[in-house]
Amino acid sequence: MLHKGSRLIESYLLFLKSSRLSDQTIRSYRCIVEKFLAENPGAVNFTYSDILSYLDGLNKFHFSKPTRQLKLIAIKKFYDFLIEAEYRDDHPCKTIFVKTNSKRNIIQADLFSMAELDSLLEREERYEHLKAKNQVVISFLIYQGLLPGEIVNLKLHHVDLDSGSVYVNAGRLLTARRLPLLERQEEILSEYIHTHRKRMQLKGENEFLLLNFQGSPLRVDDVNYLVQTMKDRFPGRNLNCKSIRDSVISYWMNTKKIPPEQVQLLAGHRWISSTLRYKQIRIKEIRETLNKIFPLEKKNT
């Protein structure tokens, strides 16, 4: 028999925690779903049309697109939970999306150089196994441009030291991809996996690659906190996981001159337009383009 009321929410919370979302995200999703169920007593059995009607109702209350998107994501997670718990065998809103049209402009002056990102690996730690784990996390941030959620969901079998690559699962926004490891990174990973990780594996066998000090799988909050502790290295600049990823993608595009189509694959972008936002347009290129369209008359000498 299906749990009801608070018991249903409690089960949903356990499901969210098993997904290893951040505490803030879990609180937001809980608040949204509690209100959703309170306003829609029959929501457990909602159909595709019911969800569309619900979203249409949000439009009437003039909720912003980002707010509607957040509500939809939380509700999608709720139906994911119902399917996993075998209360439903279908997902009523898996293919529904709220388009936000909120593409961010990439400001090149705010980005970090690869030399600056490399310096993040030189971090003093009290314990060697903690240092090894943090170096693995940072290396995935600065060499593959991974997001925190992608990092914490890596499993041991995703890392192939023989081929020098790591497999990243698809997410809600990004595609699955297999990425090459740097030689230095292979050494860091090998030492962590074969030596330090075993010391951290206090709770028996665990399939996740990265473990915390207690031997539990690393969380998104742990990755964000690690980066936050290094903000004082760059006073007045916004060091976070997203700005690191932006810097890495820009480096691929503008410094290494990797073709946009290949950068798209490396970054996991679903659309090439997302990749092209990182293209740095130089004044010289603009002048040359304008000159082709509006050729300047040569002065008589």
Provide the pLDDT for residue 4.
Answer: 55
Question: Which residue type sits at 158?
Answer: H
pLDDT given at position 45: 93
This prediction has a pTM of 0.66
Measured between alpha carbons, how far is residue 121 from residues 48, 179, 186, 227 in Å?
48, 20, 14, 11
- Domains annotated for the chain, with CATH where assigned, are 5-84 (1.10.150.130), 116-276 (1.10.443.10)
Nearest partner of 160 among 177, 142, 174, 178, judged by Cα: 178
**63, pLDDT greater than 80:** no
The continuous run of DSSP H or E covering 179 comes out as: strand 177-180
pLDDT value of position 3 = 44
Cross-strand partners of 211: 217
Please write the tens of the pLDDT for every residue from 81-136: 999 988 899 999 988 876 555 455 676 767 999 999 999 998 887 888 889 999 99
Across all residues in the chain, what is the average pLDDT? Answer: 86
Supply the pLDDT for residue 100: 52
Residue 179 pairs with which residues in a beta bridge? 166
Q: How confident is the model at residue 1 (pLDDT cuts 50, 70, 90)?
A: very low
Residue 263 to residue 269: CA distance in whole angstroms: 9
User: Diameter of the chain by CA atoms?
Assistant: 93
Q: Is the pLDDT of residue 68 over 90?
A: no
Confidence of residue 77 (pLDDT cuts 50, 70, 90): very high
Burial class (CB in 10 A: 0-12, 13-18, 19+), 48: middle
- pLDDT, tens digit, for every residue of 17-29? 887 788 889 999 9
Which tens digits make up the pLDDT trace of 241-295? 999 999 999 999 999 999 999 999 999 998 888 888 898 765 455 556 556 666 6
208 DSSP assignment: B
pLDDT (0 to 100) of residue 214: 80
Residue 297's alpha-carbon distances to 286, 288, 300, in angstroms, are 18, 14, 9
Cα angle vertex 147, ends 31, 245, to 5°?
125
